[in-house]
Structure 1
């Protein structure tokens, strides 16, 4: 499958039925388009099985509640929808995008409680998110935008509106020849990349930012468990920018990123070392069990 995302062969599951890919459309006055009333999940299917599938479905429902709407499907129904989309497109290795949003209805202003909530699932083939960075190490810019305070936005929701500053940050990074950008939070602590969590290594221990102003990723949680099972100390804490020079290795985690080593952030360089290489290989084995 290739080409523009609105012009492909295949099927998309939408509001309980499989529709032709090109016919999966919404009205121009869809509330989510104007006011970002949308949540989503990014998942990967390996050898016919979506990794941590139910956990993703649970988070989708929770994200909807955090931005004040109820998705009209149960976890079992969401699981069935994802499988139906995979089957309809004949895919066993794929990226899976489940999305729910407030549609067009009686309200067309900030308030939208009378508008219906819709859901869709699309699946497609997708390779390495960062290309050859999986072996060479990604190069990251440092974003000018910061992750907002939890008092300003629901940081634990996977909500579309929270990605506006991520898009701008990644565009700026790509213009400089970088793969992505690292973001600080509202206090100036290191937070994450635009769509992936971040880890550092120092003296055999792993340090990662406390997820109190950004999404505590499912892949992040999985990798922390893997490291601790190996007897490696993982320290979750607030990390200051001036600490970057003292770290030896760095990597990103996420459904799209999987485990991707980082070779450079701004002027700070890191080794693509044994720990991150082994971790990436072990993660690859885990998701394909």
Structure 2
């Protein structure tokens, strides 16, 4: 397959559909230099983007947190997604919406006079973790920590927050792992590089308090699914040493969906019945 910059198809950019290869930005785009960018990752199943409007609303919120007002309404963003999917003939796809400060009158840290731009792209994308979706992912433990909300708006889905994710995932892949698990700035278990995490012990589920990480939409969906099944969910701070006591583990995210975890560092987990049940139930829900 050709690179992501060299494909046939259409991309929605600043209000109109353009040829895929023509969807370019100037080298002095502010986001390229200062990470002034927010985005959403979504999946379309059977022609319908799961939780589409919630993703669009979160994009607006991320923009506000980054002092970047998105110049399109929620309805306009929803229409742009539909236009891209239809133009490319896609019914099952990954959808990426990205907004960023472009090139303009300012070229420095301050860029208040530069326009905020937006694009919507969609492409066919299989399982984010490949075979790990079924066998259980193997995770490294990252050397980096998720930052304090006092240092950056951690509830924004912002490009700058993913810098250490890229480095940590590269390090993990070099060790034969699928991903890496972060601790936060206090030492608590946080999340993977692009997914939230859940653990099972004695029939109950434990997941980190999202007070310094993104409270993922898939995470929220899975918690609701568990509670509807009468399964107790503990949303709390989790210490790293507790990993030894958990029996099952899985990741959640729009790209990851529900992916079982078989190993984190030296700790191992079974791909148990509850993990499989939730993964299958989520797959059914998003396609319903």
Structure 1 position 143, deviation (Å): 0.0
Structure 1: distance between partners of 2:235 and 2:61:
24
For this pair of structures, how many residues does the alignment match? 288
- Normalised to the residue count of structure 2, the TM-score between the two structures is 1.00
Match of 2:209 in 1: 210
Moved over 4 A (4+): none
Structure 1: distance between partners of 2:183 and 2:277:
28
Structure 1: distance between partners of 2:2 and 2:276:
32
Aligned CA-pair RMSD: 0.4
Match of 1:11 in 2: 10
Which sections of structure 1, spanning at least 5 residues, go unmatched? none
Match of 2:127 in 1: 128
| 1:91-123 deviations in Å (ceiling 9; x for gaps) | 000000000000000000000000001000000
SS in 1 for 2:155: coil
Match of 1:245 in 2: 244
Which sections of structure 2, spanning at least 5 residues, go unmatched? none
Structure 2: distance between partners of 1:244 and 1:91:
40
Are 1:100 and 2:99 matched, yes or no? Answer: yes
Match of 2:21 in 1: 22
Structure 1: distance between partners of 2:145 and 2:2:
33
Match of 1:263 in 2: 262
Alignment of 1:118-197 (within 5 A): 118-197=117-196
Structure 1 position 205, deviation (Å): 0.3
Structure 1 position 3, deviation (Å): 1.6
- Normalised to the residue count of structure 1, the TM-score between the two structures is 0.99
Structure 1 position 62, deviation (Å): 0.5
Structure 1: distance between partners of 2:256 and 2:4:
20
Structure 1: distance between partners of 2:134 and 2:283:
14
SS in 1 for 2:68: coil
Structure 1: distance between partners of 2:38 and 2:133:
28
Match of 1:90 in 2: 89
Match of 1:54 in 2: 53
Structure 1 position 69, deviation (Å): 1.0
Structure 2: distance between partners of 1:262 and 1:153:
29
